[in-house]
């Protein structure tokens, strides 16, 4: 009986190790919650401008915003490119491939349920997983 319990425990431990222990990674719905300006000023609430949401699934993200353009909200599909340095780029898709020159956000960082992106060294957008 002890051998069966030990074997089952070992199998369960191996399965958890290979599945990331339930880790979500970067997939999910990310909502802009604040902006941090270069001088450290934090902007929240309605002052952060139009709502911005990224729905990330694997190597694709759907971006949507409440910014009104000709009476319609803006949305687009983006490629999520892993830079292999702990950052990601959200690139436009051209001919079914990530554009090498056109990105909506570059150098995006993830820490738990927080996603940040610094724009032109002027301000940082902060998103939280929904």
What is the CATH classification number for the domain harbouring 94?
Answer: 2.40.128.280
**Domain membership flag for residue 4:** no
pLDDT score, position 71: 78
**Structural domain containing residue 113:** 24-129
**Domain membership flag for residue 68:** yes
Q: Compute the distance between CA of residue 111 and CA of residue 51 in angstroms, rounded to an integer.
A: 21
Span between the terminal Cα atoms of the chain, in Å = 44
Q: Whole-prediction pTM value?
A: 0.78
88 contacts 26 by C-beta, under 8 angstroms: yes
80 contacts 88 by C-beta, under 8 angstroms: yes
Q: What is the pLDDT of residues 64-107, one digit of tens each?
A: 999 877 878 899 999 999 999 999 999 999 999 999 999 999 99
Residue 112, classed as helix, strand or coil, is coil
Q: What is the pLDDT of residues 113-125, one digit of tens each?
A: 999 999 999 999 9
């Amino acid at each position: 009986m002890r051998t069966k319990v030990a074997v089952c425990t070992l199998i369960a431990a191996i399965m958890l190790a290979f599945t990331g222990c339930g880790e979500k990674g970067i997939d999910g719905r990310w909502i802009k919650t604040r902006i941090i300006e270069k001088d450290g000023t934090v902007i929240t609430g309605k002052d952060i401008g139009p709502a911005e949401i990224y729905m990330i699934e694997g190597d694709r993200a759907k971006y949507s915003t409440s910014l009104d353009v000709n009476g319609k909200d803006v949305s687009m599909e983006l490629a999520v490119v892993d830079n292999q340095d702990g950052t990601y780029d959200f690139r436009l898709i051209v001919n079914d491939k990530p554009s090498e020159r056109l990105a909506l956000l570059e150098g995006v960082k993830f820490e738990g349920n927080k996603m940040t992106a610094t724009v032109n060294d002027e301000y940082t957008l902060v998103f939280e997983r929904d």
